[in-house]
Structure 1
Amino acid sequence: MERYGEKRAVIIGGTSGMGLATAKVLLDGGARVLVTGLSQAGLESAEKELGKEALVVSSDARSLTDIDALAAQVKAEFDTIDLLFVNAGFSIPTPVANVTEAIYDEMFNLNAKGPFFAVQKLAPLINRGGSVVLTTSVANVKGLPGQVTYGAAKAALRSFARTLAAELVPSEIRVNAVSPGPIDTPILDKVFPDKNVAAQVREKTIGMIPMKRFGTSEEIAKAVLFLAFEATFTTGAELPVDGGWSQL
């Protein structure tokens, strides 16, 4: 029997990087998977990589209207699900003095508000024994210069994980978070389009990580799926996958 046979999963922010890697493992294990993204290029690329077995849906993770529409589509396609992986997120590195209201709102809308309402709207579709996994960040426990609003939004998400876990216990739904450190995904190049700057940031970051390397999307996928299906006596927790950066 396939490892994830008969499982149904929704991955918000699943068209690249960590979400895409998780989708691939689930599909290889026999699961039915719906992933969301926003950019047309990302959606088309994901469709090619994941194949016809996956549902690739355009959805803005910040928009309550889109989240409502997504919940309706998930209900129509799957009826119920076993995993909701809320992975959409992005950082706009900005020193405190340069943070504008627009940057502040963008960071909280994408990294805290959207994920909260995604869980609120999709939790009624999660089977008993099912799971929610949220993507937080090492930035929610490290005082990283330039990450003041991103780190605070991810800290809010970490708090949501605890309270959502407590509220969903009666439904036998576990809520946990995976906390990535620096992961080798396309986001680094998106945040730092200048290749020289990106290389400098990468070198400086590696110097701060005890394991002296970036993690991979596949390593995050393993942690997500452990929390989702193996850690059956764990809820409200955050699992750091950061090369020891937050721990040592």
Structure 2
Amino acid sequence: MRFRDKVVLVMGGNSGIGRASAEAFAAEGAHVFLTGRDQKTIDETVAAIPGARGFRADIADIDSATPALDAIRAAHGRIDVLFVNAGIGAFVPVPEVTPQQWDEIHNVNLRGCFFAVQRALPLMGKGGSIVLTGSIGSVAAVPGNVIYAASKAGLRAVARTLAVELVEQGIRVNMVSPGPTETPIINRSGLPPEGVAGLRSLMTQAVPMKRMGTPEEIAKPVLFLASDDASFITGIDLYVDGGCVEL
């Protein structure tokens, strides 16, 4: 019960790693608020988490999170843990990348995530914790992954800068970077079904453990970094990748 009576906002909490983390926070006593773009999965997630409140918001639209923040301010007056998990991806070879594709992914993964943190900061204070979802793609050169990789590398730079600027306020900032993980984002990569199956096979073979991770396996280090167990940790990028980066 590390999060008993803590107020937790999970942005991108309606599926995959976000949902697994929201469920885990609630199981440890947190008051959970979550956002997402799809109302159906928001409703399903809220129904599965007693007491949770969900709000439809597109992180690329900076103002769309206002209702969630207003509700938190009215109910509790603070955010103890902010987990910014929203993200999208696409596999596009370098010669085929368009400015529209670049902007769409960066508006979510980099611009959107930064301003989500900025908007939440007035509700945070000493003892607060921010966790961002990165990706090993920020350091791994994967063909076709240039847009996503660049956005996550930028987010890593944001995390480091946030950590150094907020340390005197007593707010810790860390990043969790998953390796290949079985989440819905793989089905939104822009590939046809046979391409998704081939991508899943390639990713599995690239993992030293020879399997993909699960959302629950990523949620555990998210909760660790968000908790007081990590009270002397800030600014790190924790790879949760079955050994991809280090082995």
Coarse TM-score class (shorter-chain normalised): over 0.9
Task: Give 1:91's aligned residue.
Answer: 89
* 1:135 pairs with 2:133: yes
* 1:112 pairs with 2:103: no
Shift of the alpha carbon at 1:3? 3.3
Instruction: Measure, in 2, the Cα distance between the counterparts of 1:144 and 1:184.
Output: 18
5+ unaligned residues in a row in structure 1: which ranges?
none
Compare 41-50 and 133-142 and name the one that shifted more. 41-50
Task: Give 1:182's aligned residue.
Answer: 180
Identity of aligned residues (%): 43
Q: Secondary structure at the match of 1:57?
A: strand
5+ unaligned residues in a row in structure 2: which ranges?
none
The answer to whether the Cα contact below 8 Å between 2:82 and 2:130 also exists between their aligned partners in 1 is yes
Task: Give 1:237's aligned residue.
Answer: 236
Shift of the alpha carbon at 1:193? 6.2
Shift of the alpha carbon at 1:91? 0.2
Runs of 4+ in 1 over 3 A off after TM superposition: 67-70, 192-195
Instruction: Measure, in 2, the Cα distance between the counterparts of 1:78 and 1:199.
Output: 45
The answer to whether the Cα contact below 8 Å between 2:80 and 2:124 also exists between their aligned partners in 1 is yes
Number of aligned residue pairs: give it.
246
Shift of the alpha carbon at 1:192? 5.5
Task: Give 2:156's aligned residue.
Answer: 158
* 1:32 pairs with 2:10: no
Instruction: Measure, in 2, the Cα distance between the counterparts of 1:49 and 1:103.
Output: 34
Q: Deviations over 1:57-114 (max 9, x none)?
A: 1111111211344433321232111100000001011111111111010111000001
Task: Give 1:125's aligned residue.
Answer: 123
Q: Secondary structure at the match of 1:178?
A: strand
Q: Secondary structure at the match of 2:125?
A: strand
The answer to whether the Cα contact below 8 Å between 1:19 and 1:87 also exists between their aligned partners in 2 is yes
TM-score scaled to structure 1, two decimals?
A: 0.95
Superposed, 1:189-204 pairs within 5 Å as: 189-191=187-189, 194-204=192-202
Shift of the alpha carbon at 1:190? 2.9
Shift of the alpha carbon at 1:20? 0.4
Shift of the alpha carbon at 1:50? 2.1
2:57 to 31, 40, 59: 59
Task: Give 2:217's aligned residue.
Answer: 219
Q: Deviations over 1:217-243 (max 9, x none)?
A: 111110101111121111111000011
CA RMSD of aligned residues (A): 1.4
Shift of the alpha carbon at 1:40? 2.1
The answer to whether the Cα contact below 8 Å between 1:67 and 1:117 also exists between their aligned partners in 2 is no
Compare 70-79 and 203-212 and name the one that shifted more. 70-79
